[in-house]
Amino acid sequence: MKVLGLASYPVEAAATRYRLQQFVQPLAERGISLTVRPFMDSKLFAQVYRRESIASTALELMKSSAMRLRDVMKGRGADVIMIQREAMLLGPPLIEWMLVHALKRPMVLDLDDATYVSYTSPTYGRIGRALKWFSKTEDLIQWASVVTCGNRAIAEYVSSKGAQARIIPTVVDTEVFRPVQHRSSASLVLGWIGTHSTFPYLESIFPVLQELAQAHNFVLRIVGSGKDEVRIPGLKIENLPWSLECEVADFQSIDIGLYPIDASLYSGKWAAGKSGFKALQYMAVGIPYVATPVGASAEIGKAGVTHFCARDNHEWRASLAALIEDDELRARMGAAGRSHVIEHYGLPAQADKLAAALREAAGA
């Protein structure tokens, strides 16, 4: 069976990398050929959220839109079309309409985020909101034979629209994301890895980190903030750019993971649709973490065993202090998290689910 996978972003984006690209080989072993075609190339992705590059970004987006039309022709040779969020970053679902209604190809829609919830882009503001065409997700859900969902909240929304929802969490290959022996150091590393859009979540616990630094010796390692400089008085910060080549090593370099989610930002509905992927990455490399129990992060792992949950600043302070002060607790939680991911979130099992969803769509 041949599947054409269309994604908004290139492999540098986690959604494309972990929802499509990492399944190419596992699906091939199951008799399914998946070809992944991103809307943006790596160069455009690197500049698309930079305000100073808006003019050149607009030109490149027009070029990408023209190139996307070629993929419609490629769809003629596919048994199933798989759309990761949307075929194009902007505008109405024109490409999907041509594939489903003109070429009569069954479609699997993959939603790892609540893309049906609109928000205002921190880079493009109201203009970006208008061009984004948030209502397209509603159409895509209706047109899809099957919708693969990153978590239960998204699946419930999809089901409420009368569509066939299948939950496939975003996972990592535990043979790649592995624990390493941490070298002894004078300072523990509290770490966060994310993007410019999720960095405000980390900022929400800056007061807690500043207070902890008065009594404990640690380094805050931030990867992917999109900021040239990040400062918290009294705290040593390592502000690093994200890179594909260093992704696994960055997670492995952390002693305690941070996973704050401020539900007041973007909208509570958007936060509730988050897939909890960062929690799985922390656990896969065998490190404990503290998380805000919102969306899937409230359901992943075992609170008190693999991680701590923190609902307010008091709980954040207490949880982080406990992990900073107790080496054995960190080791025990990290090992429990690693075992939990291997047992419940293995890549082969998720590949079986995806293969079944694709075959279901082809049969429909």
d(CA 129, CA 119): 7
Q: Which helix (H) or strand (E) holds 188?
A: strand 188-193
Cα dihedral 314/315/316/321 (nearest 10): 90
Cα dihedral 132/192/292/325 (nearest 10): 180
- Domain boundaries defined on the chain: 2-171+346-363, 188-344
Residue 8, pLDDT score: 93
> What's the average model confidence in pLDDT over 141-170?
96
Contacts of 267 (CB under 8 A, 6+ apart): 117, 119
Locate 134 and state its tokens.
């948030």
d(CA 364, CA 152): 23
Let me know: does 12 contact 195? Beta carbons within 8 Å: no
Q: Are strands 146-149 and 188-193 parallel, antiparallel or unpaired?
A: unpaired
Q: Over 80: is that where the pLDDT of 2 sits?
A: yes
Domain spanning 2-171+346-363, CATH architecture: 3-Layer(aba) Sandwich (3.40)
d(CA 345, CA 245): 23
Residue 19, pLDDT score: 97
> What's the average model confidence in pLDDT over 322-335?
97
Q: Over 90: is that where the pLDDT of 134 sits?
A: no
Give percent of the chain with pLDDT exceeding 70. 90
d(CA 202, CA 148): 29
Between 29 and 197, residue with greater pLDDT? 29
Contacts of 237 (CB under 8 A, 6+ apart): 219, 220, 221, 222, 230, 231
Partners of 274 in beta bridges: none
- CATH 3.30.70.260 corresponds to the domain 188-344: no
Residue 207, pLDDT score: 96
pLDDT band of 179, cuts 50, 70, 90 = very high
Name the residue with tokens 């209502």. 135
* pLDDT per position as a tens digit, 184-196: 566 899 999 999 8
Short-list 132, 202, 129, 148, CA closest to 18: 148
d(CA 261, CA 204): 8
d(CA 132, CA 334): 40
* pLDDT per position as a tens digit, 148-160: 999 999 999 999 9
> What's the average model confidence in pLDDT over 316-334?
97
2-171+346-363 and 188-344 in the same fold = yes
pLDDT band of 269, cuts 50, 70, 90 = low
> What's the average model confidence in pLDDT over 113-130?
64
Locate 33 and state its tokens.
């050929």
Q: Among 51-55, 59-63, 317-321, which is the least confidently predicted range?
A: 51-55
Q: Cα–chain-centroid distance for residue 268?
A: 17
* pLDDT per position as a tens digit, 346-364: 999 999 999 999 999 999 7
CA distances in angstroms from 255 to 179, 185, 251, 329, listed in the order given = 11, 11, 9, 12
Residue 257, pLDDT score: 98
Locate 192 and state its tokens.
């966060």
Short-list 60, 141, 67, 40, CA closest to 100: 141
Q: Over 90: is that where the pLDDT of 324 sits?
A: yes
Residue 117, pLDDT score: 81
Task: Output DSSP code: residue 251.
Answer: H
Residue 67, pLDDT score: 86
Residue 256, pLDDT score: 98
Between 202 and 131, residue with greater pLDDT? 202
> What's the average model confidence in pLDDT over 287-314?
94
> What's the average model confidence in pLDDT over 40-52?
77
Q: What is the mean pLDDT of the chain?
A: 91
Full strand arrangement of the beta sheet holding 188-193: 236-240, 218-223, 188-193, 256-259, 289-291, 308-309
Let me know: does 148 contact 354? Beta carbons within 8 Å: yes
Q: Over 70: is that where the pLDDT of 59 sits?
A: yes
* pLDDT per position as a tens digit, 230-255: 999 999 999 999 999 999 999 999 99
pLDDT band of 123, cuts 50, 70, 90 = low
- Judged by DSSP in three states, 165 sits in strand
> What's the average model confidence in pLDDT over 314-341?
97
Short-list 165, 36, 146, CA closest to 100: 146
Q: Among 74-88, 155-169, 192-206, 252-266, which is the least confidently predicted range?
A: 252-266
Q: Over 80: is that where the pLDDT of 334 sits?
A: yes
* pLDDT per position as a tens digit, 65-121: 888 988 999 999 999 999 999 999 888 999 999 999 999 999 999 999 888 886 655
